[in-house]
Structure 1
Amino acid sequence: MAVEGTRLFTEGDDLYVAMLTSIRSARNSVRMESYIFSDDEIGWQFTQALAERAAAGLDVRLHLDAAGALGGSSQVMERYLRERGGFLKWFNRWNWRHPLRYNRRNHRKLLIVDDQVAFVGGFNIHRQSSRRFYGEARWRDSHAAITGELVDDATRLFDTFWHGHRHWMPAQRGRLTPTLVSNNTRSCRHRIHCLYSDAFAGARERIFLTTPYFVPDFLTQRRLIQAARRGIDVRLLVPSKSDVPITRWAAQAYYDVLMTAGMRIYEYQPRMLHAKTAVIDSDWAAVGTANLDYRSFFLNYELVLASGERGFCSQLEQHFLNDLTESLPITSVNWERRRWSGRMLEAFGWIMRRWL
């Protein structure tokens, strides 16, 4: 346990075992949201566990994003769950009368069992995150299990969203207290963007960031550049291998200006990096579903666990430092020598940055 009530996961198989064990031991209810929920070995383990609990008379609800599940989930899985009494709802299915709604996605990953334990983070439900089924190339990700009073907030976040009320957010408990943060509230349409912006501006010693998709808006760039220029140790970890190549091109378009300001950039080498974490000054950290890009900050519905708990911060910082040992630094000298073809792809990614 990182701290009382919080446990961190970086291996999909460990996380899936914990989640499935919780589901199978449920006595009253199971609520689950996922962006990707694939028709594969992992997806069927969860489908069968959910269906078994539904058939036993429990309230089982599964909320999936229509865009995220496109081409992954199947009607067979949906029918299997519904026939056994489970409820499944699709978020923003395609509608020709409202085509722009399809672009606003529910990117949250959340599981709540019996209102006693909740899981939140970056892991989707698919074989790509399983060493058992995908091998050594499985995705590197981060997730957290929480217990205690924070689960009440997670439950209400799920229930209000399930019923179409998308602006409720728990009361903020202060910087050091564990808090669940969504990014679209009545008082602030871009709450997670504000959360990170304020954290960067208030940093005193270091900012350690991990994100698979780094396409920052102007304010985020400015906050990071200002921090680096005032002597803050700002380090960014991004993947060398990406499942969406254009986002990597877009990220690389920012390298020059960030490195000139003093920011250090690393590319993770072994496999796809999908974790979304931040550690500020070793006394504030966040893990969740939000990337440092336009889509997470301004379009998608996201969910982040932020906390100043010492054990939580220490573990996330250690995970970051461990990942750096498997990463290569980007240096100004090497970066200036990159090919013109790469520069052209960066320019294309930069032009498309708001739509990625």
Structure 2
Amino acid sequence: MLIWITAIILLIILFIWIDFRLGKKYFNKKAPVFSYETNVSDMKLMTEGKQFFDLFFKDLMRAEKTIHICFFIVGNDAISQEFFRILQTKSQSGVQVSLLMDWLGVLKVKRKYLQRLKLSGVKVKKANKPKFPFLFYQLNRRNHRKIAIIDQQISYLGGFNVGKEYLGADQKLGHWKDYHIRLSQPNLARVMEEIFSYDWKEKGPAPTSNNKCATENNSALAITEAGQLEINMIDWINQANDSIIIGSPYFIPTKRVFLSLMAALGRGVKLTVLVPEKADHLFVKSAALPFLKKIIKHGASVYYYNHGFYHTKVIFIDHTWCDIGTANFDQRSFLYNQEVNLIVTNQKLIEPVNKAFSNDLADSYQLTEKAIQQMPVSTKIASIISRLFHRLL
């Protein structure tokens, strides 16, 4: 009996391994490569949930023609229901409303709420439902983009989803810090519409890629999935001459990205990393410890945000270049998730982001190698266990 059970377990593990390997190969080959360079002149940064929802809901209520939204997570609480009511109201008034949500991220939403949306005329779709072939791989491939396009004029992207935790109403996580941006430029809204359409159809055509190097361009949208972000991240890190600053809820880089960071430290680049002291998922904090310990040993400055939960996704290179968007600094975002990030070199636009990050550092404390060594045995054991599946974190 034991032999049969062992054989079945080994077959399941073999199936998962083959499924994952072949799925990765298939989606990496299939994934389009696209980016869009442009000139951004107006960008509003929001760092608090109330600030985000107040402005976002006002823009939704002002919509006259179209509302296209993609969220990774939508909750089953009061703010989520208010969001649904607004979409229903706008749809009933004649506005074309489409809502795309990640299949895994909306499991908590009751079916009756989705039915009400559909009955009001809202087009609702769940992205990336796992299916054969490559079932296990697709379970790990999430649409992590959090974007909205209103009347083809206003667009949003960043870290906020819809739920009470983003308002700081989750007792465990407390105050929630995130970065989300509002852009009021038709050319960017048009590209965001293409991204939304691509995700909605789950197949081509891919968003327009202009890849121009015009001197007037100060920004670029990086639209990534299936390993593209890892390549981008290595390129960005390799360009650093003076400093690299990373703010992320997770710090679980791929081997190639981590080697690039170590090389940057080796050539004298100052590395600063800000991550939350609290963890919102099992093992993600412990999985980061070996990486954090090593970069600290080689001269990096690492800070724990202890004023609630830190969900920001931001990178600064040499104080002249800023990346802000939907991607975490982890292997899931680098290798599997569908993400969109905005790279900005306009100093006037970077200034409020830099100021917000400085405020976040003030709400943090520096982590030392000694402090990591003195962490509880349970944390160290979790760190060891997390190495077995860190590629899925």
TM-score by length of 1: 0.92
Q: 1:295-349: per-residue Cα shift (whole Å, max 9, x none)?
A: 1111111111111111222222222221111111111233333343332211112
Shift of 1:286: 1.1
Partner residue of 1:171 out of 186, 206, 210: 210
Residue of structure 2 in register with 1:85 after alignment: 121
1:162 counterpart = 2:200? yes
Residue of structure 1 in register with 2:67 after alignment: 30
1:295 counterpart = 2:328? no
In the alignment, residue 43 of structure 2 is paired with which amino acid? T
Shift of 1:98: 5.4
1:105 counterpart = 2:142? yes
Unpaired runs of at least 5, structure 2: 1-39
Residue of structure 1 in register with 2:371 after alignment: 334
Does the 8 Å CA contact 1:150/1:179 hold for their aligned counterparts?
no
Q: Distance in 2 between matches of 1:313 and 1:206?
A: 15
- Do the aligned partners of residues 66 and 55 (structure 1) sit closer, same or farther apart at CA in structure 2, a change above 3 Å counting? same
Does the 8 Å CA contact 2:71/2:145 hold for their aligned counterparts?
yes
Of stretches 109-118 and 342-351 in structure 1, the one that deviates more from structure 2 is 342-351
Shift of 1:57: 1.6
Residue of structure 2 in register with 1:152 after alignment: 190
Residue of structure 1 in register with 2:221 after alignment: 180
Does the 8 Å CA contact 1:150/1:178 hold for their aligned counterparts?
no
- Do the aligned partners of residues 98 and 234 (structure 1) sit closer, same or farther apart at CA in structure 2, a change above 3 Å counting? closer
Q: Distance in 2 between matches of 1:167 and 1:274?
A: 32
Larger Cα Rg: Structure 1 or Structure 2?
Answer: 2
Does the 8 Å CA contact 1:173/1:179 hold for their aligned counterparts?
no
Shift of 1:138: 3.0
Shift of 1:350: 2.0
Residue aligned with 1:80, SS: helix
- Do the aligned partners of residues 167 and 335 (structure 1) sit closer, same or farther apart at CA in structure 2, a change above 3 Å counting? farther
Q: Distance in 2 between matches of 1:245 and 1:260?
A: 26
Q: 1:171-205: per-residue Cα shift (whole Å, max 9, x none)?
A: 33459622221113xxxx53322222111111121
Q: Distance in 2 between matches of 1:335 and 1:20?
A: 42
Does the 8 Å CA contact 1:268/1:323 hold for their aligned counterparts?
yes
Residues 1-356 of structure 1 aligned to structure 2 (within 5 Å): 4-71=41-108, 73-95=109-131, 99-100=135-136, 101-131=138-168, 133=169, 137-148=174-185, 149-165=187-203, 168-169=206-207, 170-174=209-213, 177-184=218-225, 189-356=226-393
What is the RMSD computed on CA atoms of the aligned residues? Answer: 1.9
Shift of 1:167: 7.2
- Do the aligned partners of residues 167 and 347 (structure 1) sit closer, same or farther apart at CA in structure 2, a change above 3 Å counting? farther
Unpaired runs of at least 5, structure 1: none
Does the 8 Å CA contact 2:140/2:392 hold for their aligned counterparts?
no
The number of equivalent residue pairs is 348
Taking only the aligned residue pairs, the percentage that are identical comes to 25
Q: Distance in 1 between matches of 2:205 and 2:332?
A: 17
Does the 8 Å CA contact 2:234/2:257 hold for their aligned counterparts?
yes
Does the 8 Å CA contact 1:35/1:106 hold for their aligned counterparts?
yes
- Do the aligned partners of residues 152 and 107 (structure 1) sit closer, same or farther apart at CA in structure 2, a change above 3 Å counting? same
Q: Distance in 1 between matches of 2:204 and 2:278?
A: 34
Q: Distance in 1 between matches of 2:133 and 2:229?
A: 30
Does the 8 Å CA contact 1:253/1:350 hold for their aligned counterparts?
no
In the alignment, residue 158 of structure 1 is paired with which amino acid? F
Shift of 1:168: 2.1
